[in-house]
Amino acid sequence: MENPSAYGYDLKDEDLYKPLKFKEVELNTSVESFADYATTLGINYKILKLYNPWLRDTKLKIKNGVTYKIKVPEEGSINLIRE
């Protein structure tokens, strides 16, 4: 909404969600299980999907020469899984 006050909304900056802090990881090999892949990144599948809603399946087959960029949370922006 471009002009919320014109519609009776009085939103302040503290009322809005903060943008997610992330870094991008390049992915150039196929992934058989995004749940397992997320664990190697120190996050879980739900967090991976939160940052990458375009992931439509639990796996990804990548053709040669194609690179995808996966968003992952910046260190310290959420509670990451520790081993």
Q: What is the pTM of this model?
A: 0.74
As a residue count, the chain comes to 83
The answer to the question of residue 53 being in a domain is yes
Residue 30's domain comprises: 18-73
Secondary structure (3-state) at 31: strand
The residue assigned the tokens 């809005």 is: 16
CA 47 to chain centroid, in Å, comes to 6
Q: Is residue 63 part of a domain?
A: yes
57: pLDDT strictly greater than 80: yes
- pLDDT (average), residues 63-80: 86
| Residue 79 covered by a domain | no
Q: Flag whether 5 is in a domain.
A: no
Number of domains in the chain: 1
More confident residue, 22 or 16: 22
Instruction: List, for residues 30-52, the tens digit of each pLDDT value.
Output: 999 999 999 999 899 999 999 99
Helix (H) or strand (E) holding 39: helix 34-40
CA-to-CA distance for 68 and 55, rounded, in angstroms? 11
CB 53, CB 20: distance < 8 Å: no
